């Protein structure tokens, strides 16, 4: 069963697809449709619709808390991957990495098999033998290395 954040993300992406890559969203209206609080909508937008993931988000004051989300025009796959690699920090959680992978799939940057392989390589299960305080750093090293290998293949 899909988690609430996944449902909200899918709804927003559907709105973007229906409106040629740009949509004005009312937090309160969307929250009412999904039966959640508006802060949950804010959370999804701030974690899954970032600049690094190919979106521009503009907040509009008043009028029920409207937010305009625009999908940035796609760049070539290698440029997109390089931009992602350069924008990544020193550590990443499994959930954050999986969000990147979902976006790569959405944009056709990688195929399903590649996404599954990367997801398996950076999973908490694989990294279970590493100290918890170092796990996110090791995951980032693996993630960046795998993305780099996709560019140089």
Structure tokens at 31: 């929250």
What is the distance, to the nearest Å, from the Cα of residue 41 to the centroid of all Cα atoms in its chain? 14
Q: Which CATH class is domain 77-151?
A: mainly alpha
In 3-state terms, what secondary structure has residue 7? Answer: helix
- 52-73 pLDDT, tens per residue? 777 888 886 665 668 989 887 6
Domains of the chain, residue spans: 4-71, 77-151
The rounded distance, in Å, linking the Cα atoms of 6 and 88 is 22
- 132-146 pLDDT, tens per residue? 899 999 999 999 999
CATH number belonging to domain 4-71:
3.30.56.130
Q: Is the pLDDT of residue 1 over 80?
A: no
The per-residue pLDDT for 70 is 87
């Amino acid at each position: 069963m899909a988690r609430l954040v996944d449902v909200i993300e899918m709804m927003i992406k559907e709105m973007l697809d229906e409106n040629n890559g740009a949509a004005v969203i009312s937090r309160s209206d969307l929250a009412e449709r999904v039966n959640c609080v508006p802060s949950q909508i804010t959370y999804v937008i701030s974690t899954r619709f970032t600049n690094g993931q190919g979106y521009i988000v503009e907040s509009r004051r008043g009028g029920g808390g409207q937010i305009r989300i625009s999908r940035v025009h796609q760049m070539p796959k290698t440029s997109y991957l390089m931009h992602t690699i350069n924008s990544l920090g020193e550590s990443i959680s499994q959930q954050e990495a999986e969000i990147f992978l979902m976006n790569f799939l959405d944009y056709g940057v990688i195929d399903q098999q590649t996404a599954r392989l990367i997801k398996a390589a950076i999973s908490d299960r694989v990294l279970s033998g590493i100290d918890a305080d170092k796990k996110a750093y090791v995951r980032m090293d693996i993630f960046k290395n795998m993305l780099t290998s996709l560019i140089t293949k």
